[in-house]
Amino acid sequence: MRPVRVRLICSAGRVGPENMAVDEYLMRWHLRALRPVLRTYAWDPPAISIGRYQTTDRIYYEACRKDGVTVVRRITGGGAIFHDSEVTYSFVCPERGAGSPISVSESFERLNGFIIHAYRTLGLDARYAKQGPGANRFNTSDHFCFSGSQEFDICIGGRKIGGNAQRRTRGVIMQHGSIPLSIDLVRVRRYFRDGIDQTRFTSLRDALGWDIGAEQVVRAVERAFSEMMSGDLIAEELSAVEENEVRSIMNQRYLREEWNSDGRLEEHEDRTARMA
């Protein structure tokens, strides 16, 4: 069987609202093009993303404003993440591409497989939370994403690394996730009121014992995807027309206070969202 042609987008750093608009746009693009897409990206400047159904009362907004840290609400659920020194990825595919019929939990297990493989190619013993040491601690939630743990979160040495969230609508899955190169606990504690249990999470710097560059991590993710997902990655950056559509989505949702603060939806919008 011939490999599936997968669109590959390697984005330079974008502001938080723009990053979330690109991910939402790629779901719409998939409905038209009927092709999977893998995107890797960064946040410039650093930003906080909060889950679709989170309240915002546990974030120090004044500290965020002073430091120029934007707070943007995702269309996926789960806990808040401070996006700073990390590689972020998103993957869009048809639900049947994850196996059908399939539960949400099972889809997390299958779609996270290439990320686990990427960690292992870097020499790390990555496992799902339910499989590793400290497995009895999974199935907990927290306002700060990295302090909570679900069964198909990825752990190294019993500590969660990064986070991943999923959105399903109209037969399409969009899963995006965070791969932290390092975590600045001083800044995290400056922006979040509580829930920062540093014994529960780790970063690549802590797990490896040395600093790794974003480009090396991106290459590891791409190789792992090609090997695990039978995908032929074709680099195709966003066109000018697509960038215009991204800006429209950003203006309609991710720059609006009623979305980022309250999460209010238009009546017609699909509400299916889930975070692992």
Pairing of strands 154-156, 231-235: unpaired
Residue 220, CA atoms < 13 Å, CB-side half-sphere: 20
Per-residue pLDDT of the chain (276 residues; tens, 9 = 90+): 567 899 999 988 999 999 999 999 999 999 999 999 999 999 999 999 999 999 898 899 999 999 999 999 999 988 999 999 999 999 999 987 555 546 677 778 888 999 999 999 999 999 998 876 654 555 555 688 888 877 889 999 999 999 999 998 888 999 999 999 999 999 999 999 876 889 999 999 999 999 999 999 999 999 999 999 888 999 999 999 999 999 999 999 999 999 999 887 553 344 434 333
Tell me if residue 78 falls in helix, strand or coil: coil
3-class DSSP state of 212:
coil
Q: Rounded to an integer, what distance in angstroms lies between the CA atom of residue 160 and that of residue 199?
A: 9
Spatial separation of the C-alpha atoms in residues 191 and 18, rounded to whole Å:
21
What is the C-alpha separation between 274 and 113, in angstroms, rounded? 18
> What HEC string does 99-151 produce?
CCCCCHHHHHHHHCHHHHHHHHHCCCCEEECCCCCCHHHCCECCCEHHHCECC
Run of H or E including 37: strand 37-41
Asked whether the whole model's pTM tops 0.85, one would answer yes
- DSSP string computed for 228-267: HH-EEEEE-PPPHHHHHHHHHHIIIIIT-HHHHTT----T
Which residue is associated with the tokens 């032929």? 232
Q: Which sequence positions are flagged as catalytic?
A: 145
Beta strands in 189-269 (DSSP E): 201-202, 231-235
Which CATH number among 3.30.930.10, 3.90.950.10, 3.40.50.300, 3.40.109.10 corresponds to the domain 4-114+165-275? 3.30.930.10
